[in-house]
Amino acid sequence: MERMIHGCRYHYGRTGSGEPILLLHGFTGDCTTWNETIASLTDRYQCVAVDLLGHGKSSCPVDAARYDIQLLARDLKELMHELSFERFHVLGYSMGGRLALTMAVLYPDVVKSLIIESASPGLKTEEERAARRAADEKLATKIEAEGMEPFIDFWTNIPLFATQKRLPFAKQEAIRRQRLQNHVVGLSGSLKGMGTGSQPSWWTELSALTMPVLLVTGTLDEKFTDIANEMKKQLPQAVWKEVSGKGHAIHVEDSAEFGTIIREFLLYT
């Protein structure tokens, strides 16, 4: 299904029945990366999984400014409104987790609960953000110069995803095929406009979030384990679940355990 929101096409899937959940994928992903998670939720929840701007079948604007994380938060709020959902749960992974948190900060009245898998509120200082913007600009240039396949091979082999090498070969290949369905313009624009260095820091906003929050990290993902530990101290209603022996993408590495964690959290929100 598709909707035009502020001049951009958003592709999404809508399945299940019950309370609505908006699912937001990570960089190089698309809405299909949630299929296993959705399968564990649709008996009780209505899942809306979206291809974020620059990914999958959604629009790939040439102007990097259109990927601003606050504009995407606005777009998705409007999308859910058009689907007749005025309040909903939001689940986001990595880049999608930063977007989910942005929605909660900007539109707390519509976010019934917030589930963040392996994501951060951004970088605290302008010096850190400037350095990250430069790094993302360099990475975007790499995509533009080399094309999709060399970049996806590079991205698959960064240390953040090392634990996914344990997955069955067929699943690794399926992940690679999905990533290759993206487009150079979309991924480049997403890096430039929506990267961690481009978004505001939401660290000082955490204490104002009163909705229930679930943080999920893998114990082998030390960076985001440390971030979740710090976030939990500042969030008024946060639960933090660590998944033993897993890395950055728990919903990919252990979809059954991840689905159980999400269901148990939602049961009491």
**pLDDT value of position 268:** 85
Q: Are 94 and 248 in contact (CB under 8 A)?
A: yes
pLDDT digits (tens, 9 = 90+) for 50-103: 999 999 999 999 999 999 999 999 999 999 999 999 999 999 999 999 999 999
Pairwise CA distance, residues 120 & 130, whole Å? 17
pTM above 0.95? Answer: yes
Residue-by-residue DSSP string for the chain: -EEEETTEEEEEEEEE-SEEEEEE--TT--GGGGHHHHHTTTTTEEEEEE--TTSTTS---S-GGGG-HHHHHHHHHHHHHHTT-SSEEEEEETHHHHHHHHHHHH-TTTEEEEEEES--S--SSHHHHHHHHHHHHHHHHHHHHH-HHHHHHHHHTSGGGGGGGGS-HHHHHHHHHHHHTS-HHHHHHHHHHHSTTTSPP-GGGGGG--S-EEEEEETT-HHHHHHHHHHHHH-TTEEEEEETT--S-HHHH-HHHHHHHHHHHHHT-
Cα four-point dihedral sign 248, 17, 79, 234: negative
d(CA 180, CA 174): 10
In DSSP terms, 88 is beta-bridged to: 111
pLDDT given at position 98 = 98
Which class is domain 2-267?
alpha beta
pLDDT of residue 160: 95
With contact defined as beta carbons under 8 Å apart, do 16 and 46 qualify? Answer: yes
Over its length of 269 residues, how does the chain's per-residue pLDDT go in tens digits?
A: 999 999 999 999 999 999 999 999 999 999 999 999 999 999 999 999 999 999 999 999 999 999 999 999 999 999 999 999 999 999 999 999 999 999 999 999 999 999 999 999 999 999 999 999 999 999 999 999 999 999 999 999 999 999 999 999 999 999 999 999 999 999 999 999 999 999 999 999 999 999 999 999 999 999 999 999 999 999 999 999 999 999 999 999 999 999 999 999 998 88
Closest listed residue to residue 53, CA positions, set 4, 1, 102: 4
Give pLDDT, residue 200.
97
Round to whole Å and give the CA distance between 119 and 83: 27
The torsion angles phi and psi of 14, rounded to 5 degrees, stand at: -135, 115
Render the burial of 37-75: b for 16+ CB within 10 Å, e for the rest.
Answer: bbebbeeebbbbbbbbbbbbebbbbeebebbbbebbbbb
- Residue 50 tokens read as 């979206």
